[in-house]
């Protein structure tokens, strides 16, 4: 009887999860690390949040909404996405 653990000790992802591999520039990787660290979350969760935020903003802009930013000195600026 073989009692050695298998080399693949990772559980398979749930059926509604898709495992992906991404290639990021060093700048993008550093930003992802910063986002995760400053929020106290994993890089995976930071990436999920970034994707959800991008999708929400994209849909709103496509429907004619504008994204406005209120600065700390109470100045309102429009955020332009390219």
Q: Give the separation between CA 49 and CA 36, rounded to whole angstroms.
A: 10
51 inside domain: yes
Q: Which of 10, 15, 53, 47 is nearest to 28 (CA)?
A: 47
Q: Is the pTM of the predicted complex or chain greater than 0.85?
A: no
Reading the chain (82 residues) residue by residue, the pLDDT tens digits are 555 555 666 777 778 889 899 999 999 999 999 999 999 999 999 999 999 999 999 999 999 999 999 999 999 999 998 8
pLDDT at 10: 75
4 inside domain: no
75 inside domain: yes
Give the total number of structural domains in the chain: 1
Q: Give the separation between CA 46 and CA 31, rounded to whole angstroms.
A: 10
pLDDT at 15: 83
61 inside domain: yes
66 inside domain: yes
């Amino acid at each position: 009887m073989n009692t050695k653990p298998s080399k693949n000790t990772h559980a398979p992802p749930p059926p509604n999860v898709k495992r992906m591999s991404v290639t990021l520039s060093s700048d993008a990787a550093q930003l992802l690390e910063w986002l995760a660290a400053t929020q106290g979350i994993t890089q995976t969760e930071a990436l999920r949040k970034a994707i959800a935020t991008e999708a929400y903003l994209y849909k709103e802009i496509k429907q004619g909404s504008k994204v406005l930013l209120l600065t700390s000195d109470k100045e309102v600026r429009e955020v332009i996405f390219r």
